Amino acid sequence: MPVHVIDNLSTVAPAQWDALVPGNQPFLRHAFLSALEDSGSLGPRSGWRAEHVLHYENDQLVAALPAYRKWHSYGEYVFDHGWADACRRAGIAYYPKLLVAVPFSPVGGSRILSATPQGGMELLSELPAYLQSEGLSSAHVNFTDPAADALLESQPGWLQRFGCQFHWHNRGYRDFQDFLDALSSRKRKQMRKEREQVAGQGIEFEWLEGAQMSEVLWDFVYACYSNTYEIRGQAPYLTREFFSLLAERMPESIRVVIALQGSRPVAMAFSLIGDDSFYGRYWGCLAEFDRLHFETCFYQGMDYAIAHGLQRFDAGAQGEHKLIRGFEPQITRSWHYLMHPGLKDAVSEFLEQERVGVLAYADEARSALPYRQTE
């Protein structure tokens, strides 16, 4: 089965692409991925080039990989900079490489989109020949779901890598106080105090769906978002146009919470919802307030998830500050196909050692969760 590769998702009918995405996974929808491309967030200047791998039967799309050719390792959240450095020292070209992932977001989900498992297996089996013909050093499939794990495990040559994120689970809580009651006394007092500190600074919150957002509000959202990068001396990944395009194409999935002091907006958090999950993605503030980050990014999201019956809150990468607020360790997986035999052997050995450390870290993190011990 020869692969068919496109560099612009607009050449695929949205209905055909979305038909391959199981459930409601907003980050994999045609609307989301095409907005990244059409807004200029992806492109030659960014070091990301769309290179979606497709298979058609009788003019019907039956399998696809949301894939990108990369000339660097930024915006991936599965860190292989060390592998690239080792290649450079050894005189091996590590870039360009092929990445199957959601750009700029460490969100788990489907990666091998196929009407049948057989279609996915056939698509994967053609990848090594494609890498060889294109001079690509490797293929990487990040933040996979169990279905993708099973397919990749069945294919020769793929190396599995473990990581750890922190997700909050709504265990049928009636309200935020019900969640607090599940915590140890000390942690319960800490969270209550943090929320009181924010309220004491005159901060209130307003939730908006995509259809309720004006261009003026999107200007504010983008100012907050870009400021988060600029204060670290970095350029934001996303363009301003991305947010307008997303609001136009999938407003029903967007949730924005605005923090206001009086009538003045001072901070925001941008999220998406899908199936039973709430995905906190971007945050930013234009003034400094004590504990505002925790309230805007975590406690407001918990409130929303409880009120709307959402079972899981994925607040993005990094973790210890989430752990002590009830976010539980979650093992993530990625898969890597390396063309150079020596590099593959070295990475395989590294991953075996790393996996032990990741699992030990997750176990240790579970012991530090703030929940009350039950008999």
pTM of the model: 0.96
**What whole-number percentage of the chain has pLDDT above 70?**
99
pLDDT tens for 341-353 read 999 999 999 999 9
What would the DSSP string read from start to end of 128-191?
A: HHHHHHHT--EEEE-SB-HHHHHHHHTSTT-EEEEEEEEEEE--S-SSHHHHHTTB-HHHHHHH
Mean pLDDT value across residues 324-340? 98
Mean pLDDT value across residues 306-329? 93
Class of domain 171-310: alpha beta
Cα 114 from Cα 93, distance rounded (Å) = 32
Give the domain 4-164+330-367 fold.
Answer: Aminopeptidase (3.40.630)
CB 129 within 8 A of CB 94: no
Instruction: Categorize the per-residue pLDDT at 1 as very low, low, confident or very high, splitting at 50, 70 and 90.
Output: low
Helix (H) or strand (E) holding 89: helix 81-90
In the predicted model, is pLDDT for residue 363 greater than 60? yes
Instruction: Please give the structure tokens belonging to residue 178.
Output: 């019900």
In the predicted model, is pLDDT for residue 292 greater than 70? yes
4-164+330-367 and 171-310 share one CATH topology? yes
Instruction: Please give the structure tokens belonging to residue 332.
Output: 């993530």
Cα 23 from Cα 4, distance rounded (Å) = 25
Residue 256 DSSP SS3: strand
Cα 219 from Cα 208, distance rounded (Å) = 15
**What whole-number percentage of the chain has pLDDT above 90?**
94
Q: What is the pLDDT of residue 170?
A: 98
Burial class (CB in 10 A: 0-12, 13-18, 19+), 346: middle
Q: What is the pLDDT of residue 375?
A: 47
Domain range summary for the chain, segments of one domain joined by + = 4-164+330-367, 171-310
Q: What is the pLDDT of residue 317?
A: 83
pLDDT tens for 178-215 read 999 999 999 999 999 999 999 999 999 999 999 999 99
pLDDT tens for 168-188 read 999 999 999 999 999 999 999
